Amino acid sequence: MAEIAFREALRQTMREALLADDRVVMIGEDIGAYGGSYAVTKGLLEEFGPERIMDSPISESVVVGCGIGAAMGGLRPMIELMTINFSLLAFDQIVNNAAKLSYMSGGQISVPMIIRMASGAGSQLAAQHSHSLEGWYAHIPGIKVAVPYSPRDARGLLRTAFSEPNPVIFIEHTALYARKGEVPDGDYTIPFGQAEVLREGSDVTLIGYSGSVHQASQAAELLAESGCHAELLNLRTLRPLDVEAIITSVRKTHRAVVVEDDWKFGGFAGEIAAIIMEGAFDNLDAPVARVCGADVPIPYAKALEQAALPSAQQIADAALELM
């Protein structure tokens, strides 16, 4: 067991995949000589060369389209898009090609590619680079969506992503890159669709993914000081979603607070709330609560940015209101 940073867990897993399989190639803006916008690919160009670590032009549609073609041709490409908002420039390639080719070919074509995107606010990247659009991609059949929270998640889920026969959207919260955590030794994986109970509790279930798990964890500490025992659920993937873990926890605690950095209206938190209502309505002692980002473009100013995001206190207050 070693304690490493989130970005280092990703880098080690990528290096491992490159060493294990000559078909693995990486394409993206500034991933080579610069080492990646978040230093995740640092050192890989020097070790594996420009034929496998390829700096791309600033054209996301071309980069993703190239990755799709490479995957169809027998390679296992990993595409890095600097932030999730840039993926909108490749939305047609992702949604209409990568996600659908296996279905439309009757399974004759597979697209084994990973598209990594940085997401979330809290790093002062302002309104155009602070989106949390995970729910958009979870809406699309044909792709899987991983949203790791810890270095352990990052390593285990990325290993699984490299074995997937069709596209995986791998979303990394910018505020997590420097965060450290323990990563098990050995060749472990984390299956998609397997949520993690980070904290056992009996009074309310706090449900989050990626960066929102951190705020929910802090809220659980605040609730404990008030004598409220919260159970904390880290979803890990949004598609497939571990519906069974959500329902099991809510049936145990009889209350739920869903936490999401994204805007509340039309967000993925609403999907989780609907799943709870459909699967555990008779077990609920209060309506499902949602604590989400403010309905505004994310401000650049630090204080305003933090005010636009869910806080531990807001989550704790929402949980106490259910009591």
Q: Give the Å distances, CA to CA, from 58 to 28, 30, 82.
A: 9, 9, 10
d(CA 209, CA 261): 9
Token readout for 71 is: 């995957």
Cα–Cα distance for residue pair 60/136, rounded to 1 Å: 18
Residue intervals of the chain classified under CATH 3.40.50.970 are 2-183
Rounded to a whole number, what is the largest CA-CA distance in the chain?
59
Active site residue 60: yes
CATH, range 2-183: 3.40.50.970
State the 10-residue block means of pLDDT for the chain, 323 residues long: 94 98 97 94 97 96 97 97 95 97 96 96 87 95 98 98 97 96 94 98 98 97 97 98 98 98 96 98 98 94 93 97 95
User: What phi and psi values does residue 165 have, to the nearest 5 degrees?
Assistant: -80, -10
Residue 24: beta bridge partners? 76
**pLDDT at res. 304:** 93
pLDDT of residue 180: 96
Choosing from 29, 80, 129, 260, the catalytic residue is 129
196-321 sits in which CATH class? Answer: alpha beta
Residues of the chain with CATH 3.40.50.920: 196-321
* Given 8, 29, 60, 172, the catalytic residue: 60
- Helix (H) or strand (E) holding 258, with range, is strand 256-263
Q: Is 139 a catalytic residue?
A: no
3-class SS of residue 298 = coil
